[in-house]
Amino acid sequence: MGRGVEFSEALRKALSELPPMFHDALANVAIVVEEWPPGDLLEELGIPPDDTLYGFYHGVPLPERSVQDSGLLPDMISVYRGPLIKDFPDRNELSLQIRITLLHEIGHYFGMDEEELSRLGYE
């Protein structure tokens, strides 16, 4: 089985195992699989060249929204296949990391910062 198929199955499994509260939140958030995080995003976030991202939330967190935000593009979570497959060759580890990545990015959707997500174990 190819790594792409394995990744897709791990992503489906991770999505199906999300707690109901998080799963329900995804009704308003698009999940997009991209091969690698864009270089300009890594640069903007100050990610060193020897590090990477597994996912990224694009949007305005719920607590920061106002009536004026109603015309914005839909929220989106990018999941980066390349770094996940590279760093987690074991299928079970890959599935677990995809789940952690999704929970981390959904946490950003709910307005949680890195410190709060770290305390919950979604880092």
24-43 confidence digits (pLDDT tens): 777 778 899 999 999 999 99
Cα dihedral angle (36, 37, 38, 44), rounded to 10 degrees?
Answer: -160
| Sequence letter at residue 39 | G
With a threshold of 0.85, does the pTM exceed it?
no
CATH of domain 3-61+74-116: 3.30.2010.20
- Mean pLDDT computed over 54-77: 75
Q: Greater confidence, 79 or 100?
A: 79
pLDDT at 14: 83
